[in-house]
Amino acid sequence: MEYDPGRRRFLKTAGMGVFGVAIFGVAIVSCSDEGTSEASTSSTQPSSTTTTSAAATTTTATVVSTTAPPITDVVTSKRVDLGFVSAYIVDRGDGLVVVDTGVGGSAAAIQAVIEEYGRSWADVGYVIATHDHPDHVGSLNAVLALATDADVFAGSLDAAGIGSDRPITQLSDGDVVNGVEVIATPGHTKGHISLLDPDVGLFSGDAINGADGGVIGPNPRFTSDLAAADASVVKLATYTYEQIFFGHGEPVLTGGSAAVKKLADSL
């Protein structure tokens, strides 16, 4: 994809220097941890829905660019397999990115994968939630208690539904967090986002799922707007990537965008 100078870019600062450009709104969110529990495409979990409300206060900060962050030549990711749901760790050299945190009690499993990199919680710079369902943010505050220097990100329409102990930076379509592009994929939830790492692949959250080595749509039982979800599948089919890492289901390691296009053509 071509570089768009209008994109917001979020990069960590180091000491007195600044790594990159960020012009963003920070939402301070306080709400219940309860929400809609979710099953994978291959496992059945009881669902429960609790209506929550939250007030968000938005402030604006501006960071001026100086130099680009040091990125390693090889960018890698690791899956945190939590059973019916997965979280992911991406190593881009200057700070680990945690994509989703799984159900409650998942922090130890996430730590074990971080340690496979020879890293620690101090190396986690970014925690990104693809959406506000508790099987994806259930361990968010436990992770933040350990990753004390991490910034937290989520889609702008889902941020208020996430009970975070730390301010959440609200993301929009086209934003870039440490080299990872944000793709707005509403439907499963109003503020659902997917993430495209140009060096690794697509982190789809629950916009699409893996099944039998292929790709299927989100679970209708837990999807708030099926028409919007279908439109998001069509949107994901316009990007190019080999690998797909799902919230539910085994990753697709080759031919990812072709598989999504096939699904989109069937809708």
Strands 168-171 and 22-30: antiparallel
Strands 201-205 and 244-246: parallel
Q: Hey, where are the domains in the chain?
A: 9-266
Q: Looking at the predicted structure, is the pLDDT value of residue 99 above 70?
A: yes
Give the model confidence (pLDDT) of 165-207 as tens digits: 999 999 999 999 999 999 999 999 999 999 999 999 999 999 9
Residue 167 in contact with residue 86, Cβ under 8 Å?
no
Please give the CATH topology (third level) of the domain spanning 9-266.
Metallo-beta-lactamase; Chain A (3.60.15)
* Residue among 104, 106, 96, 100 nearest 88 (CA): 100
221 confidence band (pLDDT: 50, 70, 90): very high
Strands 124-129 and 13-14: unpaired
Give the model confidence (pLDDT) of 118-174 as tens digits: 999 999 999 999 999 999 999 999 999 999 999 999 999 999 999 999 999 999 999
